Amino acid sequence: MAQPPYRRIADEIRARIANGELRPGDPVPSARGITREWGVALATATKVLATLNAEGVTRPLPGRGTLVADPTVPAQPAARRNEGDPDLTRERIVAAAIRVADAEGLAQLSMRRIATELGTAPMSLYRHVDGKDNLLVSMMDSALGEDPLPAKPPKGWRAQLELCSRIQWRVFRRHPWLAPALSITRPQLILNGMRHTEWALRALDGLGLTIQEMMTIHGTIVSHVRGLALNLEAEAQAEQDSGLTSDEWTQTQEHGFRVIAAAGDFPLLTRLVDSDLQPDLDQLFEFGLGRLLDGIGVDRHLAGR
């Protein structure tokens, strides 16, 4: 089985250290540098650095990045930072938690893992956050606030809903863990999430709809965006586990499909495979959003407004 991309890159950086190309105290490539050199996603690059740090090959140094560890200098235990460290803030904890979740998935997120990322003791985090559930709400709020809705909305209800949905899609794409964490049936009290809801309701307000109808429209559109985004974390995990991109994995399945299709039971699917069409979530998002808004416009007689 092929190595996951993050492990392969970590091994290559470790080899540079072993052959003296990178010496103790030298900076290793940053996450951005790894994405440029190896052509991988930022989440994969972050996991490379987290892996090297966890193995003691490198160490993060504030203000200097990630450096090659000196094997002759014993590692300082995380607990050396005291719980009153003024550098440890809620904002830093949330940012570190997002980095871990982006790189390793929500299942790997724990207070201990976040403390390792920050170089501090796990108990010190509780001076700033009440626990993982409370932290997760702050993470979602921070993520949804990265692309603020504009102060001046575009003209027309449809353009406003399109803009809101596309911002949400970008955020979901940037943070694959967000869609599984976000509940539709039991919505969390997330300030920036509430801003998106208020924006959508305001876009529909004054068009002769009840507040229940407006909320149903908003919920339907959000369900479309989030529903597609649920594939993102699973795909990221599958890529890490298999070392294969979605396109590469699809190619490994082609022979097996053609064996099954040889009986002639699937002529249209065979035509689809022959066309070399690859799944594209962005295309599905745009197509689905457009058809939903078309239907809402016709059903609610809003097309000309």
Are 65 and 122 within 8 A, CB to CB? Answer: no
Write out the two tokens for 180: 């599984």
What is the DSSP code string of 27-82? BPPPHHHHHHHH---HHHHHHHHHHHHHTTSEEEETTTEEEE--TTSPPPPGGGS-
pLDDT surpasses 70 at 33: yes
Are 231 and 285 within 8 A, CB to CB? Answer: no
How many percent of the chain have pLDDT more than 90? Answer: 42
Q: What is the pLDDT of residue 226?
A: 96
Whole-angstrom Cα distance, residue 89 to residue 125?
A: 9
CB-CB neighbours of 178 under 10 Å: 25
pLDDT surpasses 60 at 2: yes
Q: Read off φ and ψ for residue 42, nearest 5 degrees.
A: -60, -35
- Residue-wise pLDDT tens digits, 61-101: 654 678 898 876 655 544 444 445 567 899 999 999 999 88
Whole-angstrom Cα distance, residue 113 to residue 100?
A: 8
pLDDT surpasses 90 at 241: no
Region 37-45: mean pLDDT is 80
Domains of the chain from N-terminus onward? 5-68 (1.10.10.10), 80-129 (1.10.10.60), 157-246+253-299 (1.10.357.10)
pLDDT surpasses 80 at 297: yes
Tell me the β-bridge partners of 244: none
Region 142-150: mean pLDDT is 95
pLDDT, greater one: 59 or 282: 282
pLDDT, greater one: 276 or 210: 210
Write out the two tokens for 64: 């200097």
